[in-house]
Amino acid sequence: MKVSARNVLKGKVKKVTPGVVNVEVVIELPGGGELVSIITKESGERLGLADGKDVYAIVKASNVMLGVDH
User: Are 52 and 33 a contacting pair, CB within 8 Å?
Assistant: no
Report domain extents, the chain: 7-67
Taking the model in full, what pTM does it have?
Answer: 0.82
pLDDT in tens, 11-67: 999 999 999 999 999 999 999 999 999 999 999 999 999 999 999 999 877 666 788
Query: Other C-beta atoms within 10 Å of 63: how many?
Result: 11
Which residues are CB-contacts of 48 (< 8 A; sequence separation ≥ 6)? 68
3-class secondary structure per residue, the chain: CCCCCCEEEEEEEEEEEECCCEEEEEEECCCCCEEEEEEEHHHHHHHCCCCCCEEEEEEECCEEEEECCC
**CATH class of segment(s) 7-67:** mainly beta
